[in-house]
């Protein structure tokens, strides 16, 4: 079931049962995000959605294994054939509606306590103005022990004729297993600060600076994405030959729980019992004159 909200020309569809994912974001008849699709009579697939949440961690955890507070943790691989745990659990869980009006909706998901031994509760609040979407994320440790924590958002944008501009200064080079080393100055290939045609890019990189502004310009519209300071990282994914690309604000690097670097650099948060991580992402839309 899709939940629909709108404000003026801006409308959004949400599929809480499909990983708390977005089904569409439109300005009039124009798709701002890639609209969700499905294959034949198969159930809806979150990887074919418009956007989905990543929590209580983002990116990959190598082989699903890490040590925390002296305890060995093993998580199941959740996107075969990859051997890693990826993007947390929220994107593969059913969310429930907390409250809804004509132009905003809040949904929640409770998880943890099994392979992830820390119970948690997460919420997403989607609110539309006439020209902007505001997404508020929360992640609360509802257990009795400190919990490693992080979240992010994974939107899919239409690629055709798009120009991406984002203040990229440092990048985290990825190893063969898609987990990062320490950050280095951005090279010319991955410098997006001056604006690049997305069709000229093939990227899957983690950058410093998820707050933005990140600007996507199409011939008819311009979108500006900004995020709270907690979103210290940005993943840009432009697959070869795809019809979409992703610009993903996140609070942490992939595999932050296995990094020897300080949390202040990787973005890993450790939530005390009853502590909440909070952040907001905003997408503002303007028509090109």
pLDDT at residue number 167: 93
Confidence of residue 41 (pLDDT cuts 50, 70, 90): low
DSSP state of 252: S
Confidence of residue 1 (pLDDT cuts 50, 70, 90): confident
Which string of DSSP letters, residue by residue, matches 34-67? PPP---TTSPP-GGGSSEEEEBSS-SEEGGGEEE
Domains and CATH numbers, the chain: 3-287 (2.70.98.10)
By three-state DSSP, how is residue 199 classified? helix
In the chain the first and final C-alpha atoms are separated, in Å, by: 37
Q: Across all residues in the chain, what is the average pLDDT?
A: 95
pTM of the model: 0.96
Helix ranges, 106-204 (H):
none
Mean pLDDT across 158-162 = 96
Q: What is the pLDDT of residues 43-55, one digit of tens each?
A: 789 999 999 999 9
Confidence of residue 114 (pLDDT cuts 50, 70, 90): confident
Tell me if 30 sits within 8 A of 127, measured CB to CB. Answer: no
């Amino acid at each position: 079931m899709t939940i629909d909200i709108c404000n003026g020309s801006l409308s959004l569809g949400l599929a809480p049962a499909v990983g708390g994912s977005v089904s569409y974001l439109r300005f009039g008849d124009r798709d701002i995000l890639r609209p969700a699709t499905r294959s034949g009579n198969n159930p809806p697939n979150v990887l074919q959605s418009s956007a989905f949440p990543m929590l209580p961690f983002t990116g990959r955890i190598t082989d699903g294994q890490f040590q925390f507070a002296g305890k060995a943790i093993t998580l199941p691989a959740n996107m075969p054939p990859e051997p890693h745990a990826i993007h947390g659990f929220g994107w593969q869980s059913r969310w429930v509606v907390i409250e809804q009006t004509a132009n905003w909706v809040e949904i929640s998901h409770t998880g943890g306590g099994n392979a992830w031994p820390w119970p948690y509760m997460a919420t997403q609040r989607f609110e539309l103005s006439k020209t902007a979407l505001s997404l508020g994320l929360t992640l609360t440790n509802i257990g009795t022990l400190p919990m490693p924590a992080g979240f992010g958002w994974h939107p899919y944008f239409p690629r055709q004729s798009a120009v991406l501009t984002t203040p990229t200064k440092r990048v985290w080079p990825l190893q063969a297993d898609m987990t990062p080393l320490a950050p280095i100055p951005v090279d010319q290939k991955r410098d997006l600060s001056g604006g690049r045609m997305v069709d000229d890019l093939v990227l899957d990189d983690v950058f410093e600076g998820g707050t933005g502004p990140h600007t996507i310009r199409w011939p008819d519209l311009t979108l500006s994405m900004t995020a709270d300071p907690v979103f210290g990282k940005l993943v840009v994914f432009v697959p070869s030959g795809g019809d979409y690309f992703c610009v993903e604000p996140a609070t942490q690097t992939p595999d932050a729980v296995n990094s020897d670097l300080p949390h202040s650099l990787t973005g890993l948060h450790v939530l005390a019992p009853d502590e909440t991580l909070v952040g907001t992402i905003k997408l503002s839309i303007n028509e090109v004159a």
